[in-house]
Structure formats: structure tokens, C-alpha cells
Amino acid sequence: MSEDQLLTTDEVALRLRIKPETIYAYVSRGLLAKVKVPGERISRFRLADVERLAARTQATRPGRDAAPAMRTAITLIAYGRLHYRGLDVATLAPVTPFEEVAHWLWTGERQKPAFPASAETLGRARRASDHLPAQARLFDRLPVIVAVAAAMDPLRFDLAPATVTALAPALLSTMVDALPLAGEAPADDSLATRLWLRLTGTPASPEGVRALNAALVLLADHDLAASTIAVRVAASTRANPYAAVLAGLGALDGPMHGAVGSSVYRMIEAALREGAPAAIVEWLRTGSLPGFGHSLYPEGDPRGAALLDLVAELPLEGDLRRAVDDLIAMAVRRGALPNVDFAVAVLAHATGMGPSAGEVIFAIARAAGWIAHVVEEYAQPNNRFRWSSGYTGPPPASA
């Protein structure tokens, strides 16, 4: 990104992880300069100045009560947009293969490598996950598949960047191809097409695969989300890449993170069955409206908008289109815009995918970003994450 880019006060506060009022203290002490933009009343700050200040304030080793800083060159959220190594993700998503974006995240190079998987690893992963009970979700198979892939890789403890990025395509392919088929064999070998046939028996269409590929691109990384932090903490102990991905899957399974997709899917189901007002009221009783709003995108999630544009090109049934439009209209009246979770749930409904499809799409996509963070974390000092517990229990018993 250009060093001449300007950030708002809120964006600077997010980047430096400080309160907005602290920014003005930096300005008064001459540590940060405000920039006046003709025609605007608000202050802005140069990205280059903010980065230099971040290096000064975050590069020192933290005290016992402070969390270590996580610096990353992978993803930036600024101006209400998401960027992978400087490239706008909403622009990439409709036209770029997921494999190319994954390789860009890992290496900073624009290539579309092959994503093969070992036949022996696939066979063992399928057999292992087939032992899960009938009520197991599709997502439940993924940790089993990753664990088998790890056991089959004799180089998993080689943490060199080249080794990690070399194993990554096979890992993602195994996560997809070891899932049970729901449709006929794919006409092409793109990861999006192969995943489509694990999520729905509906015949793959070019428009549908394009939307699914875009969903994978849009979800591949999102800065330091909870699951990514879990991955980086695991990587800091020098856990192998497969183990780090397993840590991410554990965090992703929370209902406030990757598993929120099934909640959005059910809300759309309720809107189809009972109408949008009844569905929204029922969810508001729980205190939240899943699929709408995002704290990092007060003007709207660009990932959700980009994916909904592609889903709109699919042959949505009349009832589904009305339910989706009504849900969006009612949420907008409450000041909440659809986010990427809502868009993925609409994609799942439109293509005959089940309620667990969203979290599987999320997991496959985000594994690409996790690998990029693993490589980045291996370059940092090991075991650097140590927080004070803030003990609140009873005092030690006297002897």
C-alpha cells in the first residue's frame, strides 16, 4: 500500500490498539502529525507516520501485564476495505482463483500452483473420518483429516518457510478431497469445484462455482481474528503447521466465530417459513442478529457486498429472494448491513448446501491464511506469548 495513504482517527486507534484520545496525546507531544484534507473537517494521519510510531511503541518487549505485539505484513483493514499484502480483496474475489490468492498470502507471488493430494493420505483420512458417528457435522471431519495428514507427513517438523509453503497445497486439498462426495465427479480440478461437490448434490454451474471461489477468497484471512491468534500462539511454541491449523479449527468452532454461519442459515430458514419479521424478532430475543454488522466495517462489510453481488446472479427461487431482501431491509432499518456470514448463508441456501456448509467454507478458506501466519510467526522469537494470569482465587494456605 502507498505510504501516502491517509488514515482516520478510528483507523489509527485500531492500528495502534489504543484509545482515540491517546492519539491526540501523541499529536500534542509531536509524535504524530495531523494532515488536513481540503473539504474535510476531520483530521487524518499518514500511514507511514503511523507505522513508524507503531514500530516505536510496539517493538519493545512487553511488560508482564502487557500482551506481546503481533505485527503482520499479510492483511490490512483500512478505509473500510480488506487487503491481502496490499491487494483489495473485494476486487480480487470475483476474478481470481482461490489457489492463486492462497499462494499470494504464503509467498507474495502471483501464481496459481497445482493443489494435489496424496492418494494414500486421502484414503487414510477418509477411513478415519468415516468412523465418526452419524450425527457428526461435516465440520467435525476436518480435525480428523488434518490429524491424519500430519501423521502421514514425515517433514511436518521441518519449519523452514519453503517446506511449510510446499506442504500447504496438499493440506488444503486433503481437507477438501477427504470429505464425502455429495455430487458427481468434478468437471475441473479447481478447489472451489471440488469443494462444491462435497457440500451439495446440486450440479455445479459456472456462476455457482465462481461465487463459492469468491467466498473462499473473501474468507482466506482477516488480520488477527481469534482463530488466527490461536494459530500464532501455537506456532510460537514451534508446533508444526498441522498442529497450528488444528488450534485454529478449535477456535473457529465457537458460535461467535466460524460457527456463526449455521445460525445465519437457520435465521434465513425461519424467514422462509415464518416471514422475515418473525425471524428477526426471534433472534433479537437472544440479544444478537447474526449475519449483520461488523465492528471493523461501520459502513458495511465489503466482503458481504462483493459476495451478495455474485449470489444475485444465481437463479434464486422467488421465496428465497424475497426472504433475503426482507431480512436485509429490516436489518438496514436498524442500522445493520449484511456481512460475509450472511452472504455465505444465502449462497448455501441458493445452491442446496446444508446448514453446516458455511463453517466448512470458512475453515477451508481460513486455513490458507493460517498457513501464512504460521510462516510469519516462525520468524519471530519462540514462546513469546506469556500473559499475567491476574489471579483472583483464594490466598495460599499458610503452612
Nearest 10 degrees: CA dihedral of 41, 46, 51, 54?
-30
> Strand, helix or coil at 32?
coil
Tell me how far apart the alpha carbons of residues 151 and 174 are, in angstroms, rounded to a whole number: 13
CA 43 distance to own-chain centroid: 31
pLDDT at 60: 44
Q: Outline where 178-224 has alpha helix (H).
A: 191-199, 206-219
pLDDT at 272: 94
pLDDT at 213: 98
Q: Which residues share a beta bridge with 338?
A: 292
Which among 218, 211, 213, 121 has a CA at the least distance from the CA of 175?
Answer: 121
Task: Tally the C-alpha atoms within 13 A of residue 361's C-alpha that lie toward its C-beta.
Answer: 34
**Residues with catalytic function:** 294, 341
357-378 and 206-219 are packed helices; what angle lies between their axes, rounded to 10 degrees? 40
Tell me how far apart the alpha carbons of residues 87 and 333 are, in angstroms, rounded to a whole number: 32
pLDDT at 62: 44
pLDDT at 257: 85
User: Which amino acid, 126?
Assistant: R
pTM of the model: 0.83
Sheet strands side by side (includes 81-84)? 75-78, 81-84, 87-88
Tell me how far apart the alpha carbons of residues 82 and 296 are, in angstroms, rounded to a whole number: 10
pLDDT at 65: 47
pLDDT at 1: 39
Low-confidence stretches of the chain (pLDDT < 50) are 1-3, 59-65
pLDDT at 112: 86
Angle (nearest 5°) at CA 352 between 351 and 357:
90
Residue 375 contacts residue 226 (beta carbons within 8 Å): no
Domains of the chain as residue ranges with CATH? 6-69 (1.10.1660), 96-383 (1.10.580.10)
As a whole number of Å, the CA-based R_g of the chain is 22
Tell me how far apart the alpha carbons of residues 327 and 278 are, in angstroms, rounded to a whole number: 10
